[in-house]
């Protein structure tokens, strides 16, 4: 017979996590974190930040649409968007966890600072860091756009549907420049 101290108690509530980002565009590194986060949490809300200070390559609606395309196989993953403070959005979604990816030490320094500030603003929300897998550790949306814009091969860095959208966007820009 097990003692009371070694018995596992049932989960009192489901754990909801928020995975925020600009996702301009979504990369295989992002998708890997979504896949892993979907296994770790009862519900994962992938939230696109509406940052009015930046001019994204893809509109907010396009980024949401791309995310929905690539996460449709994960029944516990939802896609949304937010402005303002992440912790306010997390609280509005009843999330108790913010999921963040770490590719390098430089990411950790920034993310640690953000995690401490978020905890100060909303002590009930914890930040969970997942290390990027080695094959994704160098991938960023910014780098993907830069390499693609210079004619480099980005196969394997983004989902195929996202690569197709990048090709369409490039041809739209080329048509505007020529016309």
CA separation, residue 173 to residues 45, 127, 162, 168 (Å) = 32, 39, 17, 9
Q: What letter does residue 135 receive in the DSSP assignment?
A: G
Out of 30, 89, 100, 145, the active site residue is 30
Residue 103 is a catalytic residue: yes
> Of the residues 35, 36, 103, 133, which is catalytic?
103
37: which residues sit within 8 A by CB, 6+ positions away? 17, 19, 44, 77, 99, 130
59 given a catalytic annotation: no
The active-site residue, picked from 13, 52, 54, 120, is 54
Report how far residue 141's alpha carbon sits from residue 24's, in angstroms, rounded to the nearest whole number.
6
Tokens 């770790």 correspond to 40
- 3-class SS of residue 118: helix
Q: Is 35 a catalytic residue?
A: no
Number of residues that make up the chain: 179
CA-CA distance, 66 to 54, in Å (whole number)?
A: 19
- Region of 131 (left: φ > 0; alpha: ψ -120 to 50; beta: rest) is beta
Active site residue 30: yes
Q: State the catalytic residue, choosing from 22, 89, 141, 165.
A: 141
Residues labelled as active-site residues: 30, 54, 103, 141
């Amino acid at each position: 017979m097990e003692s009371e101290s070694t018995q596992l108690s049932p989960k009192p509530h489901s754990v909801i996590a928020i995975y925020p980002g600009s996702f301009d565009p979504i990369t295989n590194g992002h998708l890997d974190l979504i896949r892993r986060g979907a296994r770790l949490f009862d519900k994962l809300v992938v939230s696109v930040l509406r940052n009015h200070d930046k001019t994204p390559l893809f509109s907010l609606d396009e980024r949401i649409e791309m995310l929905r395309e690539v996460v449709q196989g994960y029944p516990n993953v939802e896609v949304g968007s937010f402005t303002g403070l992440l912790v306010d959005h997390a609280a509005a979604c009843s999330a108790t966890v913010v999921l963040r990816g770490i590719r390098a030490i430089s990411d950790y320094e920034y993310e640690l600072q953000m995690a401490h500030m978020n905890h100060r603003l909303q002590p009930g929300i914890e930040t969970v860091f997942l290390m990027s897998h080695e094959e994704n550790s160098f991938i960023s949306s910014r780098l993907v756009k830069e390499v693609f814009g210079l004619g480099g091969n980005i196969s394997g860095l983004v989902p195929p549907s996202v690569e197709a959208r990048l090709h369409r966007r490039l041809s739209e820009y080329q048509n505007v420049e020529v016309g």
